Structure 1
Amino acid sequence: MSTLSGNSLPLDEQLVLVTGAGRGLGAHIARAFLGHGASVIVNYLNSGTAAEQLAHEAPGRALAIQADVSDASAVAKMIEQAEQHFKKRVTTVVNNALPAFQFNGDARPHADALSWGDLHQQFEGVVRGALNTVQAALPGMREKGFGRVINIGTNLFQNPVVPYHDYTAAKAALLSLTRTLSQDLGPSGITVNMVSGGLLRTTDASAATPEAVFDFIAASTPLRRVTTPEEFADAVLFFASPWSRAITGQNLVVDGGLVKN
């Protein structure tokens, strides 16, 4: 298929980088793109076995590559390796990778114990990581006159019910970067959006969540259920698809209506 009007590209013609795709939400997002015919770079840091297994599910269309997204040189090498392998430019970047983090409200530092080191670690992985991937993919996107950047956020900065100060602050900064990048890159045919979720049923991060918490969240949503990773991935696909070609700089909250954005 040829490029459609209105600065869009069918999913099955896109080369998509999904960071942190070896497991959890990232793996669901990678599988969603593969299910629609896209070629996918399955980026991972430590989950090598799982990433390779995922890549083997779509021979010829998926490639697992290890890279620390906070390392600009490693990201540049990953993009170069992928573009040589697939013989086409990266068109789409999904910034999903998350620095080591324990989703346990009781174990997270409260205001009196929060350190700059806690914040810095999250900013390095979340914000610096996104900057590195965008800058590495930017020459190819500008060459094609097309690009999609989709950042993964959280509903916690609208509904901070747990003291994830460091994680939430980094994701809030990523939303600001989403908006400023959208303004800067729009003239090059590149859109930049964010998809924000809450508790998902179920990922590696939420596997230890008590059933009572799932029940409470479900009862608090208009849909009376907890969003699944597959449903969340659908929204990511939307921002990469031709149907979103006139949308940029936006933050879509996908949590069953718990938070009204």
Structure 2
Amino acid sequence: MRINEHIVLITGGARGLGECLTRAFVREGARVVINYRQSEERAHQLVSELGEDHVIGLQADVTDAEQVTDMVAKASEHFGAPVTVAVNNALVDFSFNGDDRPALDTITWEHFNQQLNGAVGGALNVIRAVTPGMAEAGMGRIINIGTNLFQNPVVPYHDYTAAKAALLSLTRTAAKELGPQGITVNMISGGLLRTTDASSATPDAVFDLIAASTPLGRATAPEEFADSALFFASDWSRSVTGQNLVVDGGLVMD
């Protein structure tokens, strides 16, 4: 299936990296469901800009399974076809500010639980909601957004990094289970992106350090990262599943 034939669900698709993902898929002709939790105004602005024929904005908290199931049903009804690409991008209440992060002597299990519930629980809810339609279509693409921090913890964000590492595990076990239905499950792991809403609190010195450490000599832009998702949504990746692609300018080579 070509990208312009897909119905693409992007969680957290109204701002930051999510907005860049939305724009990348619309640019290639896909119809996109912009999921948002609180960014209603921004989602409506994108729908107005990109066109109602190509984009719909739907509110749902990804940690609420019932809301996610209802959102996927509305999306399929709106476009007259099931969601065939799901990008688990939503980030639950997190800011990349190394100077203000909880260290090991102050972090609590509630910090971990919040990130695990958002990253793993949210992805699980989405996967459960979209796989029946994908199975009916005979194919599907699930793309989880990860991080290179569990390979190279430049800044030790303990809770966020642990949740994304768990999401990689879910990516691989889901790939094993869903493969017979023609559904691939992969992860794209970025470094610190310059700049998104979540990374806006990051000091310039951290960006400069990362840029100096990469072969490309710069921090990755969210638009560059978003373009890599197109590969996993395309037929070019039809035999790729359970993989983790690191998109960070070569900072991590694995």
TM over 0.5: yes
Deviations 1:31-70 (A, max 9, x none): 1000000000000001111111111222211000010000
Count of residues in correspondence between the two structures? 253
Q: Aligned partner of 2:182: which letter? A: G
Find the partner of 1:70 among 31, 50, 63. Answer: 63
Partner of 2:201: 208
Question: What SS does the corresponding residue of 2:180 show, helix, strand or coil?
Answer: helix
TM-score of the pair, normalised by structure 2: 0.98
Partner of 1:164: 157
1:70 is aligned with what amino acid? Answer: T
Alignment match of 2:113 (pick from 99, 117, 120): 120
Confirm or deny that 1:85 pairs with 2:78: yes
- Select which of 18, 22, 30 maps to 1:30: 22
CA RMSD of aligned residues (A): 0.9
- 2:41 counterpart residue number: 49
Q: Give the deviation of 1:213 after TM superposition.
A: 2.1
- Output the CA distance in 2 between the equivalents of 1:68 and 1:205: 18
Alpha-carbon distance in 1 for matches of 2:140, 2:176: 14
Which ranges of structure 2 fall in alignment gaps of 5 or more residues? none
Picking from 127, 138, 151, the partner of 1:145 is 138
Aligned to 1:39: 31
- Rounded Cα–Cα distance in structure 1 between residues aligned with 2:110 and 2:201: 26
Q: Which amino acid is the alignment partner of residue 93 of structure 1?
A: A
After TM superposition, the runs of 4+ consecutive aligned structure 1 residues lying more than 6 A away are none
Match for 1:109 among 80, 92, 102?
102
Quote how far apart the aligned CAs of 1:248 are. Answer: 0.3
- 2:4 alignment partner, SS class: helix
Unaligned 5+ runs, structure 1: 1-8
Return the TM-score normalized by structure 1: 0.95
- Once residues 256 and 192 of structure 1 are traced to their aligned partners in structure 2, the CA distance between those partners, rounded to angstroms, is 23
8 Å contact kept, 1:20–1:43: yes
Pair 1:194-2:187 in alignment: yes
**2:238 corresponding residue in structure 1:** 245
Aligned to 2:35, what secondary structure does the other structure show? Answer: strand
Partner of 1:227: 220
Give secondary structure in 2 for the equivalent of 1:106: helix
The separation in 2 between residues aligned to 1:168 and 1:185, in whole angstroms, is: 25
